[in-house]
A and B are shown apart, each in its own frame.
Chain A
Amino acid sequence: DGGITQSPKYLFRKEGQNVTLSCEQNLNHDAMYWYRQDPGQGLRLIYYSQIVNDFQKGDIAEGYSVSREKKESFPLTVTSAQKNPTAFYLCASTPTGGFYEQYFGPGTRLTVT
């Protein structure tokens, strides 16, 4: 099946620890995106990548880092510098940047205590 996978579905970490969220797609899409969603809110863009080995900050990049070493993978690291990391994280992809629908993964719910 083609699609986007995110793992794990639920993640628990202690404050002060870095944590990496996985996002993999087999749709052969060039562009990938990471969003954060807080309860009752819309999605806010953290980082995006339009091509391998290149990525750009979104609206709320502080405290996060990404890499794009392979076309199919776009992992997100939530660092200890992120002040309020508990949230629902969603990964998405499109065939190329611009004017296309985004395909979303199932999300990872991160809880930091």
Chain B
Amino acid sequence: SQQGEEDPQTLSIQEGENATMNCSYKTSINNLQWYRQNSGRGLVHLILIRSNEREKHSGRLRVTLDTSKKSSSLLITASRAADTASYFCATDMGSSNTGKLIFGQGTTLQVKP
């Protein structure tokens, strides 16, 4: 089952522009995570935001979480060609302590030099 739905599915921007990706989910969560995947590679963790947090920053990344709307956004500022990748949001199971994550289908970002 897919809890996270991401929007847009694909995003193409010029280097230097900002990229915003959105994620919506259905049930209560303890945390929401964002991951990056380069083509044909494993996933790399970017940011984890807990349900009692509203915003988190890491370098050029900014993540917001709105639990009332069950949505999150990932903003990449001043994008670079090296940011070209797929980005996934993942949510935990809320009441479960198994560490199981449910992943969205991802947003494919292309940054043109």
Contacts and interface: CB of A to CB of B under 8 A. Distances in A.
B105 interface: yes
A50 B1 contact: no
A58 B112 CA distance: 38
* B interface SS class: loop
A101 B33 contact: yes
A90 B40 contact: no
| Chain A binding surface SS class | strand
Contact of A97 (B43, B88, B98): B98
Interface string B3-40: 01000000000000000000000000011010100001
Contacts, number: 78
Interface in B44-59: 44-45, 48
B107 to A, nearest CB: 11
Interface residues of B, number: 28
Contact of A109 (B40, B90, B92, B102): B40
Which 7 pairs between the two chains have the least Cβ-Cβ distance?
A: A97-B99, A104-B42, A98-B97, A42-B103, A101-B45, A43-B103, A104-B43
Interface of A: 4, 6, 31, 33, 35, 40-45, 48, 50, 56, 58-59, 88, 90, 92, 94, 96-107, 109
